[in-house]
Structure 1
Amino acid sequence: MSHVTPALYATLAEIIPELHVHCVEPWCVIGSAAALLAGADVGVADVDLLVSRGDADALMALWADRRESIYEPADGERFRSHFARFRFPGLPVEVMGGLELNQGAGWKPVAAGRLTLVGLNGLAVPVPSLEEQIRILESFGREKDVQRAAKLRAISLAPLRIIQP
């Protein structure tokens, strides 16, 4: 795994237990934080959460005092969701309830597919599997996402190293 910065760890340590308690539907971390947790050498500016619309409502109520009311996500013509951004110690958290992607043929739901749990100092952090992360990032089509997908693909193609005692 690549280095988890103190800022990312502080954010995950605060939100992951709350997500396990308050989310009813399956949820996961996606984007750069998920790529880093899978082992890619990427920078992380925020934590992206893929949740259901109902769970987004629950988190918006739970974290109401942390909500950034004036923030507008970029790429509104490409992405839509029940969205909110929250201030946490460490990094901002972006909640995307019922995320949809428009690649030119209408709006389609973004599904995480198969999830895997990443253990991080006692935290169980659900992220899409390596293959699913690559698929999702490539579908987004933005340069930063294509670069992250390439770093994840390099991990998946790396030969196994045998460590001799």
Structure 2
Amino acid sequence: MSHLSPALYATLAEIVPDMYVHCADPWCVIGSTAALLAGAQTSAADVDVLTSRADAAVLTTQWASRHEPAFAPGDSDRFRSHFARFRFPAAVEIMGALEFRAGDRWQAVSPGRLVLVGVNGMAVPVPSIDDQVRLLHSFGREKDLQRAEALRALVPAAFTMPVLVSH
């Protein structure tokens, strides 16, 4: 795993136990922090968490004193969700039932297969490397494509054996 900044580490230490207690549905960290946790050489300034719509509402109530209601996410023409941003050492952005625009329709974001990454005894769910690459490519932004490439660099090329053909 790449190095976590003190702010990211402190934030994960605070939110992960809360997520396990208060979320009824599966959840996971996505975006730059997920890539960093998978070992990619990248940076992360915030923690993006994919949840169900219901769990996003629960967390908004649970973390009400940290809520930043005036914050509006960018790319609202490209993404929509039950969104909330919270003040922790690193900002936390909850995206309940996240969807992205695929052509002229909205498509639900599916994290795919989740893996658990250990952070000082905490199990943090993130999409598998292949699923992170798929998600980042579907988002299509330049920063996402760069993260996808950093993740691809982690996966060794498949071993190939020359095939001999005899006649």
Aligned to 1:57: 57
Unaligned runs of 5+ in 1: 161-165
Structure number with larger C-alpha Rg: 2
Confirm or deny that 1:133 pairs with 2:132. yes
**Cα deviation code 1:75-125 (max 9, x no counterpart):** 00100000000001x200000000001021300100001000000101110
For residues 156 and 142 of structure 2, what CA distance do their matches in structure 1 show? Answer: 21
Deviation at residue 11 of structure 1 after TM alignment:
0.2
Residue 61 of structure 2 aligns to a residue in which SS?
A: helix
Shift of 1:156: 1.2
Matches within 5 A, 1:68-107: 68-88=68-88, 90-107=89-106
| Inter-partner Cα distance in structure 2 for 1:156 and 1:58 | 37
3-state secondary structure, aligned to 1:29: strand
Q: Secondary structure at the match of 1:72?
A: coil
Rounded Cα–Cα distance in structure 2 between residues aligned with 1:46 and 1:4: 11
Q: Deviation at 1:157?
A: 2.7
The within-5 A match list for 1:7-156 is 7-88=7-88, 90-156=89-155
* Alignment partners' CA distance in 2, 1:52 and 1:99: 8
Shift of 1:72: 0.4
Structure 2, unaligned runs of 5 or more: 160-167
Measured on the aligned residues, the alpha-carbon RMSD in Å equals 1.2
- Segments of 4+ in structure 1 off by > 6 A? none
* CA distance in 2: counterparts of 1:156 and 1:70, whole angstroms: 40
Give me the TM-score of the superposition, normalised by structure 2.
0.93
Whole-angstrom CA distance in 2 between matches of 1:61 and 1:31: 24
